Structure 1
Amino acid sequence: MGKKLTSQQLADAATAAGFEARAVRAIIKVETGGSGYDKTTGYLLIQFEPSWFRRLLPKATTQAIAAAATADAKKTATPAQAALLHDWLTTQANVVEGQAKERLAFDAACRIDKRVADLSTSWGLPQMMGFNHKACGLASVEALVESFRQSEANQLTAMLRFIKSKPPLAAALRRKDWGVFAYYYNGAGYKAFNYDKRLAKAYASLA
């Protein structure tokens, strides 16, 4: 079976989960336009989130970064400290970029802490944050990434498990209450990105 998700697979999975296939397609359309992989490289689509990387790093690592910054200001940084600081600044400069720049930031984060980089990144068709792996039915973030690499069908399954794990989110999707859905799926700042309106527009366009 191929890595790409078929319309029939999506319809079957959505129906089995108790959701309208059209509504599920609307989410995917807004998140990634319908592909879980970069069309140029074939890699999983990612969005590295600097704020989550800052939040999830161990204290010892943040202290090492602070020490590297202090040493750099005094021009006493070791090569290792200079490399650490360079990688840190690369991660924190990331915004919503094309996949080439996302990968630069993500790779820099991996050199600092691979697991935290994975946790702090959204993956594949549903742009699912790595730290949501348990709600997706996967034991670890590493398992999530590997599952997502295998197929878009796996990505869809994980997304539907995540939605069903949060009753208000699942109920909002069944009602097509895009504002409530956006709040639980995209976060409290969803209005800044018109996420609810984009979902409604995508749903209407799929009629």
Structure 2
Amino acid sequence: MPAAITLSQPVGENAENRPSDVLAVQRLLNLNLYRLPLVPRLAEDGVCGPLTIATIREFQRLVLDFSWPDGRVDPGGKTLATLNEPYINPALQKLLREEDYAAAAQDLAVDVATIQALAHVESNGSGFLENGNPKILFEGHWFHRFTGGQYDALYPTLSYAQWTKRHYLGGEREYERYEQAFSLDPEAAMKSTSWGKFQIMGFNYEDAGYSSVQGFVSDMKKTEGHHLQALVAFIKNNSMAELLRNKQWADFAKAYNGPGYADNQYDVKLEQAYRHYANSL
């Protein structure tokens, strides 16, 4: 994980604005644009002009909730520390953006609040680990099916006939299981793993809009926006979009989560989340 970017002098309004410091701040601001809807990308030229100062103020207003943004980034200050967050944590560079929600809503012909509710309830939190890799869960019973059980005896924690969570390692360590399975049968390993924010199984790659599982996995490593695009394709290809448009939460939850949806109150959670986001817009 990279060390935080530091400044020799303040940058912004009424500051010395050394070109090297300004360039560092401009790069950090561009890295944080996912937090700043409708703010244009800055030219990284080391010149602290009106647009750079205005972007600092907008960051302080929207992200830091400053009542009186001063348009200035001080060494050791809160603005610099917060700007550094996505730099030192690669996962933060890949989060969903406002334009991702808007594009998904347009694609499914629903309102943005519906997409926000869906992402809130059906997601597995963030789609990425702190090291920037997508979250995964390797499922050995699927690996067993896709490989005809040939690895059951030698690799009993990777390949087994019945589902069990006993062999899960979780978090970053789940990649240990996935990579070992990948060394045995790459395609079966990718198909036997759930990927990203919405934990879409690799074997669903066609429903997710891909012609190959390799293409699906490649995009799952990019951004949560790609995760959402795959979810939208999955919904459309399984004839669930109309249920969302009509706010048929129970019918959608049954189609998406299966007959046991009521046990986890997915329909209730979806409706509550929708009301929350709709009232926030």
Tell me if TM exceeds 0.5.
yes
Q: Is the 8 A contact 2:140 2:158 kept in 1?
A: no
**3-state SS of paired residue (1:41):** coil
Q: For residue 41 of structure 1, what is the aligned residue in structure 2? A: 131
Larger relative contact order (CA 8 Å, sep ≥ 6): 1
Counterparts in 2 of 1:128-207, with a 5 A limit?
Answer: 128-167=200-239, 169-206=240-277, 207=279
Q: Which residue type is aligned with residue 253 of structure 2? A: A
> Measured at CA, do residues 63 and 119 of structure 1 come closer, stay the same or move farther in structure 2, by a change above 3 Å?
closer
> Which amino acid is 2:276 matched to?
S
> Which range moves more in the overlay, 114-123 or 144-153?
114-123
The letter for the 1-side match of 2:147 is: P
How high is the TM-score relative to the length of structure 1? 0.74
CA–CA separation in structure 2 for the residues paired with 1:97 and 1:180: 34
Q: Bigger radius of gyration, 1 or 2?
A: 2
State the distance in 2 between where 1:53 and 1:199 align. 32
Structure 1 gap segments, 5+ residues each? 69-80
- In 2, Cα distance between equivalents of 1:154 and 1:127: 12
CA distance, structure 2, for counterparts of residue 110 and residue 189 of structure 1: 32
Cα distance in 2 for partners of 1:94, 1:143 equals: 30
Residue type of the alignment partner of 1:42: G
Structure 1 residue 30 corresponds to structure 2 residue 121: yes
Residue 52 of structure 1: how far off its partner (Å): 3.1
**Partner residue, 1:57:** 146
Uncovered stretches (5+) of structure 2, i.e. residues with no partner: 1-32, 34-92
Give the counterpart letter for 1:144 in structure 2: F
Shift of 1:34: 5.2
SS of residue in 2 equivalent to 1:122 = strand
The answer for the alignment partner of 1:10 in structure 2 is: 101
CA distance in 1, matches of 2:259, 2:270: 16
Aligned residues, how many?
185
- Counterpart Cα distance in 1 of 2:245 and 2:235: 11
Give the Cα separation in 2 of the matches to 1:189 and 1:50: 22
Secondary structure of 1:47's counterpart equals strand
TM-score by length of 2: 0.57
| Structure 1 position 122, deviation (Å) | 1.9
